[in-house]
Amino acid sequence: LFHIQIPLAEAKPPAKRERRSPPPCPGKSILVADDEPGVLEFMRKVLAEDGQKVVTANSGREALEKLETGRYDLVIADLHMDAVTGRCIRKALLTRPDPPRFLLVTGDVLGLAPDCPDSQEEAVLAKPFSPLVLRRAVRDILRASPSSG
């Protein structure tokens, strides 16, 4: 028989988890449009937990309808939805005198090719993303807004 003695490694305290940063401006009105119900609910829940007023749309067409009747500080839209894509929504917003901030989300980063003249100016979040990444993106966009505060 052999006896092997292995020294125990010194126990280290568990790594501290990154604390959730406070919401950028609680109470902001955010329209979220995505045709994937799970993604839509995920974004709604994360933003609502941060104190944002979240309105959801299951399609680009529904998002445009809600934009006609509501005022939003930020619009988050999926790139690929029905006939009304995230870029169509952004284009419609740019015709307004005081457009809300805009965040494009997509699982198709190849669909962001620079053949679209506006693609360089878009804030884009690639799916999948974590709650922390979503919070940071929203915080950064709202802080950059001249109307935030």
| Mean pLDDT value across residues 12-41 | 76
Give percent of the chain above pLDDT 70: 71
Structure-model confidence comparison of residues 1 and 131, the more confident one: 131
Structure-model confidence comparison of residues 59 and 147, the more confident one: 59
Backbone angles phi, psi at 134, to 5 degrees: -60, -45
Q: Rg of the chain's alpha carbons, rounded to an integer?
A: 20
So what's the pLDDT on residue 149?
Answer: 41
pLDDT at 148 over 80: no
| Mean pLDDT value across residues 89-106 | 92
Give percent of the chain above pLDDT 90: 58
For 17-30, write each residue's pLDDT tens digit.
Answer: 555 555 557 889 99
pLDDT at 8 over 80: no
74 contacts 138 by C-beta, under 8 angstroms? yes
47 contacts 88 by C-beta, under 8 angstroms? no
Task: Indicate the length of the chain as a whole number.
Answer: 149
Q: Could you tell me the pLDDT band of residue 117, with boundaries at 50, 70 and 90?
A: very low
Structure-model confidence comparison of residues 13 and 126, the more confident one: 126
For 48-96, write each residue's pLDDT tens digit.
Answer: 999 999 999 999 999 999 999 999 999 999 999 988 999 999 999 999 9
**Diameter of the chain by CA atoms?**
84
> Which residue stretches of the chain are H helix?
37-49, 60-69, 86-93, 131-144
> Residue 95: which of 67, 115, 60 has the closest Cα?
67
Q: Could you tell me the pLDDT band of residue 139, with boundaries at 50, 70 and 90?
A: very high
99 contacts 107 by C-beta, under 8 angstroms? no
